[in-house]
Amino acid sequence: MLDWNDCPAVERIPGKVSGEWLFRSTRVPVRALFENLEGGASVAEFLEWFPGVTREQVDAVLEHTSRSLGVSA
């Protein structure tokens, strides 16, 4: 499991959406990004479907994931 504590684009607030990691200042779980990408959605589609999430947040989450997994972006 990734350590999201070092990613400024996300937050976890006890009691908010069951304590899941969320895109900062939204109620959108980070896992929703990965579920949608796995399902064949593009980042542009994800951003359209979840208007509270910014492109910068998505980029930061993907960058954090790549760095954490040791994958070249």
pLDDT of the residue at 72: 61
pLDDT of the residue at 70: 82
pLDDT of the residue at 69: 82
Domain 4-69 belongs to what topology?
Arc Repressor Mutant, subunit A (1.10.10)
The one-digit pLDDT tens for each residue of the chain (73 residues) are 689 999 999 999 999 999 999 999 999 999 999 999 999 999 999 999 999 999 999 999 999 999 888 866 5
pLDDT of the residue at 2: 81
- Helix, strand, or coil here: 50? coil
Q: How many CB atoms lie within 10 A of CB 57?
A: 23
pLDDT of the residue at 68: 87
- Please state the domain extents for the chain: 4-69
